[in-house]
Amino acid sequence: MKMGRKWSDRLQFGIFTLPVLICIAVAFYIPFVMTVRYSLTKWNGIAKHPKFVGLDNFERIFTGDANFSSAAWFTIKYMVLYIVLVNVLAIVLALILDMKLRSTTWLRAAFFVPYILSLVIVGFIWKFIFMQGFESLGATTGWGIFAMSWLGEPGLAFISILGVSIWQSVGFYMVIYIAGLQAVPEDLKEAATVDGAGAFRKFFSITLPLLAPSITISVFMALTNSIKVFDVILSLTGGGPGGTTYSVAYDIYRDTFQNNLYGYGTAKALVLFIAVLVITFIQLGIFKRREVEA
Amino acid sequence: MTSAKTGRIILEIVMIILSLLFLYPLILAIINSFKSFSEVMSDVIAMPQQFNLDNYAYVWKYINYPRLFINNTIITVIGLVGIILFSSVAAYKLSRTNSKWSNTIYLLCIVPMLIPFQSIMLTVLQLAKSLHLSDSTWGLGILYWGFGAPLAIFIYHGFVKGIPREIDESATIDGASGFKLFFLVIFPLLQSVTTTIIIIDVMWIWNDFLLPLLMVNGSPATKTLTLAAYTFVGQYTSDWQYAMTAMVMAVLPSIIVFVLLQKYIVRGVVAGAVKG
């Protein structure tokens, strides 16, 4: 009787969990194992069998691939600037919206709207603004910034990609910070005012430390999103001008699907995965320690 | 006190102007979708001379808008139903079972959140081809079951922990067990997290680009809205009036839904981020 009960429990456990395990295996684990296998081969997808080359692909990635190193450099610059700027801007917006202005509902909606749009489409709309809109705006206002080649010059194209990404997602981080601010007890803020703390003092010694959990979440999200930046570059610059705005993810896409370097592309893909893994663990470690102290 | 009050009013006005500037690119896209080619070329910021819908009629037919809309809906609904169904039952069971096995399986379920899609995109495509899931809206929807599961399981798992076991026990005494217990008693209690997951996943699947590009871009019959807009711009590189019309048509469903459900969407997105 007891044995029967145990087996029926196990059977039920299996029935409840097996479907999702199969789905996850199909989406992640089986492709992942295949990726590891391909990364050790040379293959163009046409030849019948991939040719085993050991770790040659990885050696080439780190020693003789100018595309990869420039894409890696681009991605690192982009990540650092994106994480800092999007979070600072989001905190500023959240602080203003937390002041309970009459237009708060409208403002929150306005800054959030781009986040619900597809990044590829956001990229195209901005491409239109940079290419056509700025011409008209320049003619009307006579301002020099509208005459600059925002997509045609490497440095400016980088700033454009960064700016458009921030424009699209700042509202998301803003609402996380608004939720965080609402969790800061009102009497704590008031007590600080009574004690004669100025606005800046109050922000740095009370609000900011209490926002720590929101900052952890937002930095984490900003990091995992920015390391994979792809869609917006594809539609905004297409990697140009002169191949200067390829990110790592876009470089992998180029090698795999445009140059048909299946083995080499998957090796790069694996390098990206390991980078994500290492950065995630470092970050979790840092923030865990920091939060315990605070 | 009065100076503080004027300060607030000035801030309020500044913020409203800023928010309008922030939305200006979208406003420009909408304005130009009503213009003719020569109007766009001569002045982008001017209002259209007349609001005619010619561009819309043209793009509607050219990209077969109703078809795309149906495709997006099929993919999103299939993906969503599978994610909710499979993830909730599994997360419930994993959360209620305390064993080494159960913990290991739970970890196996959530660890894939760390795998960037670009790291496995080629092999996902190959696997999907051999399983006959590619080139079909249904197949794409089914693939999302696995991609959406880790986050959904993570969120459900945490929430189920907060539901007292006594509820399961008293239901068992009343004679409910297995799926009946889950769907009649537990699932209704998960409503708030289910809403959160629906919101996050609809936004993600509806707007997703790379996976659909690899899976269903081959035929006009299976394309999604974003894919069609992407291809369309590629073909009409200088006809900005058509391109902007296609963009507006592609984003319009999202904007309408956002305006209607703004409160829930913002709440759901925050809840998803804080728990996820």
Q: What is the pLDDT of residues B37-56, one digit of tens each?
A: 888 888 888 888 888 888 99
What's the predicted TM-score (pTM) here? 0.91
Same domain, B21 and B152: no
Supply the ipTM of this predicted assembly: 0.91
3-state secondary structure chain B: CHHHHHHHHHHHHHHHHHHHHHHHHHHHHHHHHCCCHHHHHHCCCCCCCCCCCHHHHHHHHHCCHHHHHHHHHHHHHHHHHHHHHHHHHHHHHHHHCCCHHHHHHHHHHHHHHHCCHHHHHHHHHHHHHHCCCCCCHHHHHHHHHHHHHHHHHHHHHHHHHCCCHHHHHHHHHCCCCHHHHHHHHHHHHCHHHHHHHHHHHHHHHHHCCHHHHHHHCCCCCCCCHHHHHHHHHHHCCCCHHHHHHHHHHHHHHHHHHHHHHHHHHHHHHHHHHHHC
> Do the domain assignments include residue A122?
yes
Give the list of residues 6+ apart from residue B55 with CB closer than 8 angstroms, or none.
Answer: B33, B34, B35, B241, B242, B245
Chain B nearest CA to A14, separation (Å): 9
pLDDT tens, per residue, chain B with 276 residues: 577 788 889 999 999 999 999 999 999 999 999 998 888 888 888 888 888 888 999 999 998 999 999 999 999 999 999 999 999 999 999 999 989 989 999 999 999 998 999 999 999 999 999 999 999 999 999 999 999 999 999 999 999 999 999 998 888 888 887 888 999 999 999 999 999 999 999 999 999 999 999 999 988 899 999 999 888 888 877 788 899 999 999 999 999 999 999 888 998 888 888 876
Q: Is residue A180 part of a domain?
A: yes
- Whether B114 has its CB under 8 Å from any CB of chain A: the answer is yes
Contacting residues of B for A43, CB less than 8 Å apart = none
Q: Is residue A270 within 8 Å of A39, Cβ to Cβ?
A: yes
Instruction: Say if B215 falls within a structural domain.
Output: yes
Same domain (yes/no): A15, A131: no
Residues B138 and B163 in one domain: yes
Q: State how many domains chain B has.
A: 2
- Taking the CA atoms of chain B, what radius of gyration do you get in angstroms? 24
Contacts of A16 in chain B (CB under 8 A): 89-90, 92-93, 182
* Residue A52 within any structural domain of the chain: no
Encoded amino acid at A91, one letter: I
Specify the number of domains making up chain A. 2
Domain-located, residue B174: yes
Full residue range of the structural domain in which residue A135 is found: 66-293
Show the tokens assigned to B103. 């913990």
- My answer on whether B115 and B38 are in the same domain is no
Would residue A98 count as lying in a domain?
yes
Burial class of residue A36 in the structure, from the number of CB atoms within 10 Å of its CB (0-12 exposed, 13-18 middle, 19+ buried): middle
Is residue B170 located within the same domain as residue B225?
yes
Residue numbers of the domain that contains B147: 64-235
| Chain A residues closer than 8 Å to B12 by CB | 101-103
Look at residues B58, B74, B104 and tell me which one is the last residue of a structural domain: B58
Q: How far is A282 from chain B (nearest CA, A)?
A: 13
Please indicate, yes or no, whether residues B73 and B123 belong to a single structural domain of this protein.
yes
* Structure token digits, residue A161: 């990609």
> How close A72 comes to chain B (CA, Å)?
15
